[in-house]
Amino acid sequence: MSSHLSVGDRWRIVSLKFDQGLNVHEIARIVNCSVRTVYYILSLYQDTNDIIERSGRGRHNMLNDYEMHTLRQMLYRYSNETSTSIANRFFQRTDLYVSPPTIRRYRLSFGFRPVHARIQPLINATHAQQRLHFCLSHATDRWYNVIFSDEKAFEIDVTGLVYYIPHNRPRPVHFQSQVQYRAAVFGAVWYQGRSNLVFIRNRTNTTTYVQYLEDALNSHLRRLTEYYFIHDRPTWAHTAQAHEWLRNNRIICMDNYPPVSPDINAVESVWSWMNR
């Protein structure tokens, strides 16, 4: 790819990048080569600490089976660490330096993907028991006629941590207490449909909650007759006024839904998708 470059030109590329901080387009213009060639020389230098292709030093054969096994174990254990940190740990374990770009390539080849942690509130033993009882009681139910509803407060940059996980693993969970959110919405989903999305602009109380129900569901009420209704357990959602509105519209409220259980409310998957 870059056989036309002299050894001096190759070292010049490295110097322009790491000593002078120029970008690859500027380097390509100065050295009179393609941007692709600049990327190749820089990658070769970072992988091998050299600028000449030598037999046996290609990137595909850089690690043996034991070293790849060691690296894979580190990627599992330190899933939220940067490639630089993993490279340092790998050097301490094996006395072999592998550049961060090479770590990233191996991580990708091992099937790891970047994700943000899934937010999960802290629960106590009572909450856990209530959740288990609810799930066991309804494990064999048909869920085609259930409305899952909830408010969602979106926060900017909930967590900056990025985890690298294999494709067959669920996202890690980030536990947190209450935080100050930026914007809130109310909505619902069911097996073959979804409500209107309602933006919450003021404090929620019994009256405003009923207004959310009307704004979200009024245009769908004819198809929701005799549906069951699930919502989280804030005080204003379990009042005579809210229950009366549901009864008047022939919707059945499931009052045994356990508290602090967003992960078993299907609309939470929608919020998670919107929050990515």
Q: Can you give the residue range of the structural domain that contains 246?
A: 125-275
Q: Are residues 102 and 167 in the same domain?
A: no
C-alpha torsion sign, points 128, 129, 131, 132: positive
Q: Is residue 29 part of a domain?
A: yes
pLDDT in tens, 80-90: 898 889 999 99
Q: Decide if 265 is inside a domain.
A: yes
Residues 137 and 250 in one domain: yes
Residue 218, pLDDT > 50, answer yes
Task: Looking at the structure, tell me whether residues 221 and 153 fall in a common domain.
Answer: yes
Q: Report which of residues 198 and 154 the model is more confident about.
A: 198
> What CATH number does the domain containing 237 carry?
3.30.420.10
Residue 203 to residue 193: CA distance in whole angstroms: 28
Span 158-191, pLDDT tens digits: 555 677 777 667 777 666 555 554 678 999 999 9
Same domain, 76 and 198: no
Distance (Å, rounded) from C-alpha 36 to C-alpha 17? 14
**Same domain assignment for residues 145 and 267:** yes
Asked if the model's pLDDT at residue 48 lies above 80, the reply is no
Kindly write down the DSSP assignment for every residue of 176-229, as one continuous string.
E-----SEEEEEEEETTEE---EEE-S---HHHHHHHHHHHHGGGGGGGTT-EE
Burial of 37 (C-beta count, 10 Å sphere; 0-12/13-18/19+): buried
Asked if the structure places residue 148 within a domain, the reply is yes
Q: Is residue 117 part of a domain?
A: no
**Residue 218 domain-assigned (yes or no):** yes
User: Is pLDDT above 80 for 263?
Assistant: no
Q: What is the mean pLDDT of residues 190-208?
A: 90
Residue type, 238: H
Whether 129 maps to a domain, the answer reads yes
Residue 247: which residues within 8 A CB-CB, separation 6 or more? none
Please indicate, yes or no, whether residues 97 and 218 belong to a single structural domain of this protein. Answer: no
Same domain, 70 and 32: no
**What pLDDT, on a 0 to 100 scale, did the predictor assign at position 25?**
93
Q: Are residues 33 and 138 in the same domain?
A: no
176 and 271 co-located in one domain: yes
Q: Is residue 191 part of a domain?
A: yes
Say if residue 163 is in the same domain as residue 259: yes
Share of the chain above pLDDT 70, in %: 85
Whether residue 225 sits in one domain with residue 144: yes
In three-state secondary structure terms, 128 is helix
Mean pLDDT value of segment 6-23: 84
In this prediction, residues 140-149 reach a mean pLDDT of 90
Does residue 118 lie within any of the structural domains? no
Give the pTM: 0.53
Number of domains the chain contains = 3
Q: Quote the pLDDT of residue 1.
A: 46
Judgement on whether residues 171 and 141 belong to the same structural domain of the protein = yes
